[in-house]
Amino acid sequence: MTLLKYEHIEIRDSGDPLVNLTDFDFLLEQSYYKRGFSKDSRIYIRKTIAEKLEHIQKKLGNYKLKIWDGWRSREVQHNIYMNHWQKLKNEHPDWKEEKLKEEVGKFVTVATDPHRIPIHSTGGSTDLTLTDSLGNELDMGTSFDHFGPEAASLFYEINDIDDRVRSNRKLLRDAMVAEEFRIDDDEWWHFDYGNQLWAAALNKPYAIYGECSPSDK
């Protein structure tokens, strides 16, 4: 997450509701429910984003979108953060707290800072990939939530390796950019629309999505 200072962006929430993606024709796999970080197997996202993803999938023809995550509560965000914190602490017992905070923050937003809205808590972020018509994931070079340099969106271009992975990632990026999504430099699977990070990256005067929660929770 390269744009660390985005909290100053004004939010004028459009009131676009969260929708349950089970009502749409996507492949869904609630990754954090499967891993025990969330108690809810449903995936929510802002209605406008769901419609944009429908349009993308239609344009892609024989490919389908597989969605791992959308809106997150702060509780789920905290569970993810602490899991990564503990993993790095175990791997690097010599790291001090400030070093751990810096390294964890490269990939996971802290959930307990009242001055920062975790971007997934706006319903304006989504984690996804592409599959073929049979539901097989395209080769993107790493798994979802691979917190390492290979996950960077342009890692394979910069290092000039693996034509297939480069092509697959580009296919996904181009499709998302065409619908005005923000690309995440560090995570090929992560895209933003409408939140403060999106507004900062695309030079928008304000964000249209603030913190929210599903009405049916």
For residue range 52-85, list pLDDT tens digits in order. 999 999 999 999 999 999 999 999 999 999 988 8
| 160-191 per-position pLDDT tens digit | 999 999 999 999 999 999 999 999 999 999 99
Of 113, 105, 30, 12, the residue nearest 72 (C-alpha): 30
- Among 9, 32, 35, 36, residue whose Cα is nearest residue 122: 9
Domain assignment present for 109: no
User: What SS3 class is residue 199?
Assistant: helix
Whether residue 105 is contained in a domain is answered as no
Which band of pLDDT confidence, cut at 50, 70 and 90, is reported for residue 205? Answer: very high
Q: 82 in a domain, yes or no? A: no
Provide the pairing of β-strand 27-28 with 64-69: parallel
Q: How many domains does the chain have?
A: 1
Provide mean pLDDT across the span 120-141.
97
pLDDT exceeds cutoff 60 at 99: yes
What is the spatial distance between Cα 95 and Cα 193, in angstroms, rounded to a whole number?
35
Helices (H) and strands (E) in the chain, counts: 7, 7
CATH number, domain containing residue 196? 3.30.1380.10
For the residues 190-205, what does the mean pLDDT come to?
Answer: 96
Instruction: Say yes or no to pLDDT of 4 above 80.
Output: no
Residue 8 placed within a domain: no
- CA 201 – CA 26 distance, rounded (Å): 27
Helix (H, G, I), strand (E, B) or coil at 6: coil
In a domain, 213, yes or no: no
SS3 state at 173: helix
Residue 183 lies in a domain: yes
Give the residue-averaged pLDDT of 185-201: 96
Is 2 within the bounds of a domain?
Answer: no
- pLDDT tens for 135-157 read 999 999 999 989 889 999 999 99
Question: What range defines the domain where residue 36 resides?
Answer: 18-71+120-201
**pLDDT of the residue at 63:** 97
Q: Does residue 208 lie within any of the structural domains?
A: no
